[in-house]
Amino acid sequence: MRLFIAVNFNEEIKSRLVQIRDRIGAQTLRGNFSRPENLHLTLVFLGETPADEVPAICSIMADAQRTLSLREFTLDFTHTGCFKRRNRELWWIAAEKTDPALGVLAELRRRLTGGLLAAGIAFDNRPFNAHITLGREIKHSSPIVLPGEKITAPINRICLMKSEHTGGVLVYTAIFAVDLQREETSVLGDYNTQSAANCLAKAC
């Protein structure tokens, strides 16, 4: 199964991201734009992963949070841009590189990838570039111009996501999640109480 570890967003944040996505879409000739339910920030891309490795991945996620004792925080998405690939572009939104919250995410990723390495689980180890993909394969005839934007997104949960095509549509499904600590409690969310067996059953 095709897996990745990600931060998902609530409906309010996704609605604001869609507004930016649509502004880009209005200025393009064509493109493949992210569906609202698929908007996320990838922490670690695992790719094709054997089902029997899923329980270990779930444990690594829980251990990373337990070791860091992270509390929920916010990340300000203020910067849009694109990666150029031949004559098409992938457009994204990201935080400024000077945002201290990016350092928190980077440390979380280091803990996750360290656990994966120790367990012998394969993952994409390219440098971490925290962003939300808004659209791929975008082609336009004149420069895309976007107004300044600031979206303050709460970061309060990391999810193990399964990616699959269903009826020709790309679908992302959370099969396990770990909550960051809330200010009023140090108890992790109910997803984190799943046993490894339940985690595997949900993945299959």
Using only C-alpha atoms, the chain has a radius of gyration, in whole angstroms, of: 17
CATH code for the domain of 67: 3.90.1140.10
Domains of the chain: total: 1
- Rounded to two decimals, the pTM is 0.87
d(CA 93, CA 78) in angstroms, rounded, equals: 7
Residue with tokens 């339940």: 198
Compute CA distances 194 → 4, 145, 180, 182, 197, whole Å. 18, 46, 16, 19, 8
pLDDT at position 99 is: 92
Structure tokens at 202: 């949900």
Burial (CB count <10 Å: 0-12, 13-18, 19+), residue 159: buried
CB 160 within 8 A of CB 58: yes
pLDDT at position 147 is: 80
pLDDT at position 187 is: 34
As averages over each run of 10 residues, the pLDDT of the chain (204 residues) reads 97 96 92 95 97 96 94 94 86 92 95 97 95 93 85 96 92 96 46 48 56
Compute the half-sphere exposure of residue 108: CA atoms within 13 Å on the CB side of its CA. Answer: 29
pLDDT at position 185 is: 34
pLDDT at position 200 is: 54
Structure tokens at 104: 């928190």
pLDDT at position 192 is: 42
Structure tokens at 88: 């098409």
Determine the structural domain holding residue 188 and report its residue range.
2-203
Strand partners, 160: 5, 176
Which segments of 33-138 does DSSP mark as H helices, in order?
54-68, 100-119
CB 180 within 8 A of CB 192: no
Q: Which helix (H) or strand (E) holds 120?
A: none
Q: Which helix (H) or strand (E) holds 171?
A: strand 169-179
